[in-house]
Chain A
Amino acid sequence: MCLICAVGTAQSTQRSLLLVSGSDSQLDALTHAEVRKVFLGVPVTTGQVRLRPLLNFTDPLATNIFLQQVIFMSERKYKRQLLSRVFRLGDQRPREYDDIDLLVEDLRNTPGALTFMWSNQFESYTGLKSLGALWTSSKN
Chain B
Amino acid sequence: MRYWPAYYQGLGVPLGRLKQFHRVSKLKRSHINVRQLLWPILALSIVYARPGLAEAESEFLLFPFAMASYLSGLPADSLLDDDENDFGLNLFAAIENGGFVFLGEALLAKEEQEIERLQLGWRFGDSKAWLGRFHNPIGYWNTQFHHGAYLQTSITRPAIVDYEDDNGVLPMHLAGLLIEGVKEHDNSGLGYAIAIATGPELADELEPLDVLSPTSGSQGLSLAINVFRQPVVYAPNQYGLFANYTEIPARERGLEEIRQTIAGGYWNWESELWRLIGSAFYVRNRVYQANDDQADDFVAGYFQAERSLNDDWTIFGRVEKTFASDNDAYLALFPDHAREKILGGLRLNVFSRHSLTLEVSSNHQQDGRYRQFMLQWAAMF
Please report the C-alpha to C-alpha distance between residue A81 and residue B58 in the assembled complex, in whole angstroms: 18
Whether the Cβ atoms of B234 and A36 lie closer than 8 Å is yes
Contact indicator B121/A87 (Cβ below 8 Å): no
Q: Is the interface of A mostly helix, strand, loop or mixed?
A: helix
Stretch of A69-77, A97-105, A120-128, A131-139 that contacts chain B? A69-77
Q: Are A40 and B94 in contact (CB under 8 A)?
A: no
**Which one of B58, B96, B151, B270 lies within 8 Å of A77 (CB-CB)?**
B270
User: Closest approach, in angstroms, between the C-beta of B121 and any C-beta of chain A?
Assistant: 6
**Residue-wise interface mask of A (57-79) relative to B, using a CB-CB cutoff of 8 A (1 in contact, 0 not):** 00000000000000011101100
Known: A77-B272, A92-B94, A92-B96. A86 touches B311 (CB 8 A): no
Residues of A within 8 A of B180 (CB): 89
Query: Interface size (B, Cβ < 8 Å)?
Result: 33
Q: How far is the CA of A91 from the CA of B92 in the complex (A)?
A: 12
Given the known A-B contacts A74-B272, A77-B272, A88-B143, are A93 and B234 also in contact in the complex, defined by CB atoms under 8 Å?
Answer: no
Label chain B's interface by main secondary structure: strand
How far apart are A121's CB and chain B's nearest CB, in angstroms? 27
- Does B379 belong to the interface (CB within 8 Å)? no
Supply 12 further A-B pairs (C-beta < 8 A) apart from A77-B272, A90-B59.
A33-B187, A37-B184, A40-B234, A43-B123, A73-B235, A81-B234, A81-B235, A81-B236, A84-B144, A88-B144, A90-B103, A91-B94
CB atoms of B187 and A83 under 8 A apart:
no
**Is B200 close to A, CB under 8 A?**
no
Name which residue of chain A comes closest to B126, CB basis. A42
Task: Tell me whether B61 and A90 are in contact (CB under 8 A).
Answer: no
Measuring CB to CB, which residues of chain B are less than 8 angstroms from any residue of chain A? Answer: 55, 57-59, 61, 92, 94-96, 101-103, 119, 121, 123, 126, 128, 143-144, 146, 148, 151, 180, 184, 187, 232-236, 270, 272, 311
The interface of chain A, by Cβ under 8 A from chain B, is: 33, 36-37, 40, 42-43, 50, 72-74, 76-77, 80-81, 83-84, 86-93
Q: List 7 A-B contacts (CB under 8 A).
A: A42-B234, A43-B96, A81-B235, A86-B59, A90-B96, A90-B101, A92-B94
